[in-house]
Amino acid sequence: MLIFIVKTNLMIFLVLVSLTVYLCCFFFVQVVRARLEERGICVKDVRLNGSAASHVLHQENGLGYKDLDLIFGVSLKDDQAFRLVKDVVLDCLLDFLPAGVSKERITALTLKEAYVQKLVKVCNDTDRWSLISLSNNMGKNVELKFVDSLRRQFEFSVDSFQICLDSLLLFDRCSETPMSESFHPTVIGESVYGDFQEAMDHLCQRTIATRSPEEIRGGGLLKYCHLLVRGFTASSEADMKQMQRYMCSRFFIDFPDIGEQQRKLEAYLQNHFAGMEHKRYECLMTLHHVVNESTVCLMSHERRQTLSLISMLGLKVLAEQNAIPTVTNVTCYYQPAPYVQDINFSNYYIAHVQAPQITHCSNSYQTWLPCS
Ligand SMILES: *[C@@H]1O[C@H](CO)[C@@H](O)[C@H](O)[C@H]1NC(C)=O
Ligand SMILES: *[C@@H]1O[C@H](CO)[C@@H](O)[C@H](O)[C@H]1NC(C)=O
Ligand SMILES: *[C@@H]1O[C@H](CO)[C@@H](O)[C@H](O)[C@H]1NC(C)=O
Ligand SMILES: *[C@@H]1O[C@H](CO)[C@@H](O)[C@H](O)[C@H]1NC(C)=O
Ligand SMILES: *[C@@H]1O[C@H](CO)[C@@H](O)[C@H](O)[C@H]1NC(C)=O
């Protein structure tokens, strides 16, 4: 990974401070870090990642940010290290409970249920990291990621930014003079895309660019469509076509089965559209268009099946927001897919569906036929 730029910009500093104060987690980070070190786990650095980092660098970027994504650079050489990290975080969490909550009565288990949204551990040849995602009462999550190694650190250039918080943390710990506009530490931002300036230009001009999309799990396909909906575009038609082909290819390799595709899509819709639910339909139709355009190598049955799924979900989100358009323009998207069984859109629409019987196909056919 290469470091490209040093930012001493005051705006960055101010935004960082307000972000962290707003989420009340700056102090929490300090405590987690100190306790990890007490227990022999050295923290190389702490970084702000992803959309929150993009937000700090360029606020009008159109991406918004939902979660505060923090990366702790640590060494996780064995299972015990993983466990230690988790225990330390849960322990710190216990100390941060609001006054009045009886700590004796809270077990690690109830604590986990109340505050921990997600616990993830990944440990293989290339990737060693764990994630503890905490939710606060404002619906924002704080994702604490403890990363030993992670081969692919970004999806698109616009979310490849990381901002190193160490100088702020150190300042906070050691300086007797409080931070001010004229007295504050240098904050370093970098892009794991490889070229900071280029990534920054992409962010300002809303350009979609990536490297080797076939390396991203799911190909980055859903995020790509989401970026399109938010007004981002590829730099050229050729670029777009190529990206789409790779992304679709990887998506169908990772999610070959229609049930998995449905779960993946529903989870994405659920997790990425808070406060902008009305955009879900547009995103699905964009996805429909991309899949239709870029999966020429897919077997036609599978392609139809996936396109139907996307249409059904589109109709479902419209129904949820009570925005079913006139029947005429629904019909062109509407292809009943009876194998999509647990979709529940209002009974009103179900009533119109003449579902043909489709027998379940075996899973043994080849899903992706490579183009050559
Ligand atoms: C940082 O955020 C990006 C974009 O959300 C994500 O792809 C990447 O995995 C994150 N990096 C780490 C180390 O978690
Ligand atoms: C390691 O795990 C990650 C996340 O589950 C996965 O994307 C990656 O392909 C795995 N790598 C290997 C070599 O198995
Ligand atoms: C799908 O793509 C084909 C050409 O590849 C086009 O004729 C058709 O109109 C497209 N369908 C939709 C719903 O976009
Ligand atoms: C359906 O058609 C109506 C009127 O023609 C239009 O206002 C509406 O935007 C269309 N809806 C969609 C989802 O295309
Ligand atoms: C389907 O959705 C409706 C309204 O959202 C709800 O009342 C009903 O219980 C749901 N049915 C099932 C089977 O989930």
Q: What is the pLDDT along the chain (372 residues), one digit of tens a residue?
A: 233 333 444 455 555 555 554 445 677 888 899 999 999 999 999 998 988 888 888 877 778 777 788 999 999 989 899 999 998 988 888 777 666 666 666 666 676 666 777 788 998 888 999 998 887 655 567 889 999 999 999 999 999 999 888 887 887 777 787 777 677 777 888 999 989 999 999 999 999 999 998 899 998 999 999 999 999 999 999 999 999 999 999 999 999 999 999 999 999 998 888 778 889 999 999 999 999 988 776 677 888 899 999 999 998 888 887 665 544 444 334 444 443 444 444 332 322 222 333 333 333 223 333 333
Measuring from atom 5 of ligand 3, which residue has the nearest CA?
A: 293
> Quick one: which atom of ligand 3 is closest to the CA of 332?
13
How far is ligand 4, taken at its centre, from the CA of residue 283, in Å?
16
Q: Is 297 exposed, middle or buried (0-12, 13-18, 19+ CB in 10 A)?
A: middle
- Token code pair at residue 138: 């404002």
* Ligand 4 site, residue 329, Cβ cutoff 6 A: yes
Q: Which ligand is nearest to the CA of 49?
A: 1
* Ligand 1 site, residue 75, Cβ cutoff 6 A: no
Q: Which ligand is nearest to the CA of 253?
A: 2
Q: Are 134 and 70 in contact (CB under 8 A)?
A: no
Q: Which ligand is nearest to the CA of 123?
A: 2
* Ligand 2 site, residue 122, Cβ cutoff 6 A: yes
Quick one: residue 300, left, alpha or beta (phi over 0 = left, psi -120 to 50 = alpha)? alpha
* Ligand 2 site, residue 60, Cβ cutoff 6 A: no
Alpha helices in the chain (DSSP H): 10-23, 26-38, 50-57, 79-95, 108-115, 166-174, 196-205, 221-229, 237-254, 258-272, 279-294, 300-320, 327-331, 347-350
> Quick one: which atom of ligand 1 is closest to the CA of 145?
14
Measuring from atom 13 of ligand 4, which residue has the nearest CA?
A: 325
Question: For a pocket test of ligand 1, which of 159, 193, 211, 272 has the largest count of ligand atoms closer than 8 A to its C-beta?
Answer: 159
Q: What is the distance in angstroms between the CA of the first residue and the CA of the last residue of the chain?
A: 33
Torsion angle of alpha carbons 43, 46, 50, 55, nearest 10°? Answer: 180
Contacts for 139 with CB less than 8 Å, ≥ 6 apart: 274
Residue 331, Cβ neighbours under 10 Å: how many? Answer: 10
Lookup result for tokens 């900071």 = 196
Burial 115-151 (b: 16+ CB within 10 A, else e): bbeeeebbeeeeebbbbbbbbeeeebbbbbbbbbeee
Give the pLDDT of residue 14.
Answer: 53
* Ligand 3 site, residue 279, Cβ cutoff 6 A: no
Give the pLDDT of residue 100.
Answer: 61
* Ligand 4 site, residue 321, Cβ cutoff 6 A: no
